[in-house]
């Protein structure tokens, strides 16, 4: 049984019976008839009763198919019953088919899927109980009208539907906020990032500076920081990580990345910009080093960068934990690392980073569990031209690739599958590689099953012209000379994945091209994503094109999370709810 009045109220009736006595029947609708039995005809599989309706002042037929004995016995000659059923026109005038006999009349009766709800709602639910839990009076009134109606409710009514949406997301957000626990931090860290920022050979964007400032304020608190820093591919999240590591300093921090390639990139960047200020360790399955010493036997590192190999070590106690591309790790993996670094029960400050922009609505919902910084500006303005192409464009595509190779630029071609499949209408990577290898030099191939994929990517970065891959490249090594990407069977991939792939090119602000190759060039989703390079706009498109439930990582993994609230279209309602919950938490802010 639901624990709160709002949760209980959201279990609305599945139907309503209008048991008010009407002056005339309505054809095709359920009506109440006060009927007196005149004649009974009992035929095989058919039970017919002729009755006189006192409220309509006319005769009508009552029809039952395969009537039960208790249904037959209630029609004693001359007996008066309150019959409720659908009115139709039959051979002998008005007919009521398969009606039920009801005891009381004069009201609208709600019907619930579960009878237990019916009794509990009657006994405990009222307008004041909903208002007491924070619902506005107008919303509470509309919800109560569904359970204790004076007129027939309609779920298509605009105000009623809005009240259900509001109550549902209000209840959900309130429960989320209650889950957000205030844990003691390992330590409060008061630090100024300005010297690090001034030491950089380039200027940070305003969004980067804002995120660093938010992290500085987080670190200074005795309560554990829990912040998600999210931004588009190439927005400069690495510099924010390094700024946090600088502020944490000798109190120690860990950065965990999902692949050795990403961990190595972070390590190289850290040595470049923090090497003179902090001692930096590197941990992978193959390597535990800090100046040639075992990292964990001699925990001298101020900053430890590694892969999930960190989960199988016993790292020293740290004051701050950062996870790059946090969506690539399971919740259990993230928790394990957090627990490993918990020390004496107090928690390290916890920062998560993601290159997958999330829709504004989802960001507002997730903000009930953790703080969010959004990085919407890039250090380099991207000049990526996106085109949706089919086989008629192939000759021009070849000419474009040759031209880019002549300029010492690189091309990435992404295939949907590694090997041939009867259900796949596009060439697989293995089927296509012969074509490219016979026509071009310096062609490299890798995929998710390739045990040497990391070395293949490193060799391609240095020497390659064309890389054939699967979506393993979605999150991976930085390829500064990559100016062209071709995604075969693009309509098979989600918009977020397509945008991640597109983000591989033009990383240094140079002119770049993205081609979505498809047999369905009029595909609406592909045409929409081709119109914008903004990851946050793509996230909004993605939300509108798919079930929102599977976006709620950590909140709900799949399925329709809400019955009434629509994440793609109800942001204004969410904003109202968020404001209302803020006022409930801090009532003084409502008085200005």
The reported pLDDT for the residue numbered 360 is 75
The reported pLDDT for the residue numbered 551 is 40
* Tokens found for residue 230: 């999210």
d(CA 358, CA 495): 12
Between 538 and 591, name the one with better pLDDT.
Answer: 538
Residue 553 has pLDDT above 60, yes or no: no
Terminus-to-terminus CA distance in the chain, angstroms? 40
Please give the average per-residue pLDDT across 203-226, as a whole number.
95
**DSSP string computed for 513-549:** EEEEE-S-TT-HHHHHHHT---HHHHHHHHHHHS-GG
Query: Are 564 and 155 spatial neighbours (Cβ–Cβ below 8 Å)?
Result: no
pLDDT digits (tens, 9 = 90+) for 362-410: 777 877 778 889 898 887 777 899 999 999 999 999 999 999 999 999 9
Please give the average per-residue pLDDT across 209-213, as a whole number.
97
The reported pLDDT for the residue numbered 90 is 85
pLDDT band for position 556 (50/70/90)? very low
Question: What is the rounded (10 degree) CA torsion for 555, 561, 565, 567?
Answer: 60
Please give the average per-residue pLDDT across 213-227, as a whole number.
94
Residues 225 and 241 in one domain: yes
Residues 394 and 354 in one domain: no
The reported pLDDT for the residue numbered 287 is 58
Residues 420 and 502 in one domain: yes
Residues 417 and 355 in one domain: no
Average pLDDT of the chain, as a whole number = 86
Which of 501, 517, 532 terminates a domain? The answer is 532
Residues 348 and 202 in one domain: yes
For residue 410, what is the domain's CATH number?
Answer: 3.40.50.300
The reported pLDDT for the residue numbered 587 is 64
Kindly report the number of other CB atoms within 10 A of residue 24's CB atom: 11
The reported pLDDT for the residue numbered 343 is 54
In a domain, 6, yes or no: no
The reported pLDDT for the residue numbered 521 is 92
In a domain, 490, yes or no: yes
Considering only CA atoms, which of 354, 355, 350, 325 is closest in space to residue 337?
350
Between 313 and 211, name the one with better pLDDT.
Answer: 211
Residue 516: half-sphere exposure toward Cβ, Cα within 13 Å: 29
pTM of the model: 0.75
What is the domain extent for residue 344? 194-375
Residue 334 has pLDDT above 70, yes or no: no
Greatest alpha-carbon pair distance for the chain in Å reads 103
495-502 vs 535-545: helix axis angle to the nearest 10?
160
pLDDT digits (tens, 9 = 90+) for 248-266: 999 999 999 988 888 888 9
In a domain, 585, yes or no: no
In a domain, 229, yes or no: yes
Residues 312 and 405 in one domain: no
Residues 224 and 370 in one domain: yes
In a domain, 70, yes or no: yes
Residues 249 and 356 in one domain: yes
The reported pLDDT for the residue numbered 311 is 79
**DSSP string computed for 104-121:** --SSEEEE-SSHHHHHHH
d(CA 478, CA 189): 32
The reported pLDDT for the residue numbered 121 is 92
Query: Are 357 and 537 spatial neighbours (Cβ–Cβ below 8 Å)?
Result: no
Residues 6+ apart with CB under 8 A from 146: 12, 13, 110, 153, 160
The reported pLDDT for the residue numbered 517 is 96
Question: What is the rounded (10 degree) CA torsion for 333, 347, 171, 327?
Answer: -30
What is the percent of the chain with per-residue pLDDT over 90, rounded to a whole number?
54
Helix extents (H) in 134-253: 137-147, 158-179, 194-199, 206-219, 237-248
Least confident of 263-272, 443-452, 473-482: 473-482
Report which DSSP code applies to 588. Answer: G
Residue 552 has pLDDT above 50, yes or no: no
Q: Convert 462-484 into a string of H (helix), E (strand) and C (coil).
A: HHCCEEEECHHHCCCCCCCCEEE
Which of 321, 342, 375 terminates a domain? The answer is 375
Residue 564 has pLDDT above 50, yes or no: yes
d(CA 182, CA 363): 20
In a domain, 2, yes or no: no
Query: Are 526 and 388 spatial neighbours (Cβ–Cβ below 8 Å)?
Result: yes
pLDDT digits (tens, 9 = 90+) for 108-118: 999 998 888 88
The strand pair at 511-517 and 383-389 is best described as parallel
Residues 434 and 347 in one domain: no
- Residues facing residue 30 across a β-bridge: 86
Give the three-state DSSP class for 575. Answer: helix
The total number of structural domains in the chain stands at 3
Which of 375, 399, 430 terminates a domain? The answer is 375
Residue 588 has pLDDT above 70, yes or no: no
158-179 vs 137-147: helix axis angle to the nearest 10?
110
d(CA 229, CA 474): 19
Residues 353 and 394 in one domain: no
In a domain, 558, yes or no: no
pLDDT digits (tens, 9 = 90+) for 283-315: 887 655 544 444 554 457 899 998 888 877 766
Residues 321 and 363 in one domain: yes
Residue 549 has pLDDT above 90, yes or no: no
Considering only CA atoms, which of 196, 203, 193, 215 is closest in space to residue 277?
196
Residue 424 has pLDDT above 90, yes or no: no
Residues 9, 15, 16: CA angle, nearest 5 degrees = 95
The reported pLDDT for the residue numbered 271 is 94
The reported pLDDT for the residue numbered 536 is 85
The reported pLDDT for the residue numbered 473 is 65
Q: Which of 149-153, 370-374, 451-455 has the highest mean pLDDT?
A: 149-153
Residues 87 and 35 in one domain: yes
pLDDT digits (tens, 9 = 90+) for 454-510: 788 889 989 999 999 988 665 556 788 999 999 999 999 888 889 988 988 988 889
Report which DSSP code applies to 205. Answer: P
d(CA 308, CA 259): 8
Residue 204 has pLDDT above 50, yes or no: yes
pLDDT digits (tens, 9 = 90+) for 73-131: 999 888 999 999 999 998 888 999 999 999 889 999 999 988 888 889 989 999 999 99
């Amino acid at each position: 049984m639901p624990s709160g009045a709002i949760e209980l109220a959201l279990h609305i009736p599945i139907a309503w019976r209008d048991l008010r006595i009407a002056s005339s029947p309505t054809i095709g609708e359920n009506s109440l008839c006060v009927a007196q039995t005149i004649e009974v005809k009992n035929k095989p599989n058919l039970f017919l009763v002729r009755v006189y309706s006192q409220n309509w002042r006319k005769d009508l037929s009552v029809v039952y198919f395969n009537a039960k004995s208790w249904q037959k016995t209630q029609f004693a000659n001359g007996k008066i019953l309150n019959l409720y059923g659908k009115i139709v026109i039959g051979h002998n005038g008005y007919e009521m088919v398969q009606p039920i006999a009801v005891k009381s009349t004069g009201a609208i009766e709600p019907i619930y899927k579960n009878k237990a709800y019916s009794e509990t709602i009657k006994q405990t639910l009222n307008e004041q109980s909903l208002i007491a839990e924070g619902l506005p009076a107008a919303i509470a009134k509309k919800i109560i009208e569904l359970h204790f109606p004076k007129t027939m409710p309609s779920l298509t009514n605009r105000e009623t539907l809005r009240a259900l949406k509001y109550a549902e997301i209000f209840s959900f957000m309130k429960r989320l906020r209650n889950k957000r626990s205030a844990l003691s931090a390992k330590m409060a860290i008061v630090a100024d990032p300005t010297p690090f920022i001034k030491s950089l050979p380039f200027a940070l964007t305003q969004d980067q500076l804002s995120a660093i400032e938010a992290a500085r304020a987080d670190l200074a608190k005795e309560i554990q920081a829990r912040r998600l820093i999210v931004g588009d591919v190439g927005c400069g999240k690495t510099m924010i990580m390094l700024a946090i590591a600088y502020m944490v300093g000798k109190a120690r921090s860990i950065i965990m990345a999902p692949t050795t390639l990403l961990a190595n990139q972070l390590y190289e960047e850290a040595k470049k910009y923090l090497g003179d200020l902090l001692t930096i360790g590197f941990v992978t399955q193959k390597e535990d080093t800090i100046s040639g010493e075992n990292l964990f036997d001699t925990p001298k590192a101020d900053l430890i960068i590694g892969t999930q190999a960190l989960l199988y070590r016993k790292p020293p106690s740290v004051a701050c934990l950062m996870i790059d591309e946090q969506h690539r790790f399971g919740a259990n993996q993230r928790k394990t690392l957090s627990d490993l670094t918990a020390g004496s029960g107090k928690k390290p400050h916890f920062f998560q980073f993601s290159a997958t922009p999330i829709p504004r609505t989802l960001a507002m919902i997730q903000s009930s569990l953790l703080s969010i910084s959004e990085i919407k500006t890039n250090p380099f303005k991207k000049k990526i031209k996106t085109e949706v192409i089919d086989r008629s464009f192939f000759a021009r595509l070849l000419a474009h690739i040759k031209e880019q190779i002549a300029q010492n630029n690189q091309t990435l071609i992404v295939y949907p599958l590694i090997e041939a499949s009867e259900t796949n209408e596009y060439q697989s990577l293995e089927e296509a590689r012969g074509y490219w290898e016979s026509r071009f030099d310096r062609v490299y191939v890798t995929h998710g099953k390739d045990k040497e994929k990391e070395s293949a990517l490193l060799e391609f970065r240095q020497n390659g012209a064309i890389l054939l891959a699967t979506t393993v490249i979605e999150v991976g090594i930085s390829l500064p000379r990559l100016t062209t990407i071709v995604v075969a069977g693009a309509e098979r991939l989600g918009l977020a994945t397509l945008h991640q792939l597109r983000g591989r090119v033009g990383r240094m602000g140079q002119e770049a091209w993205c081609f979505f190759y498809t047999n369905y060039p009029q595909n609406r989703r592909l045409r929409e994503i081709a119109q914008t390079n903004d990851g946050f706009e793509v996230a909004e498109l993605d939300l509108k094109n798919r079930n929102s439930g599977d976006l709620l990582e950590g909140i709900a993994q799949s399925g329709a999370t809400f019955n009434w609230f629509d994440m793609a279209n109800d942001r204004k309602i969410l904003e109202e709810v968020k404001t209302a919950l803020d006022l409930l938490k801090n009532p003084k802010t409502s008085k200005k």
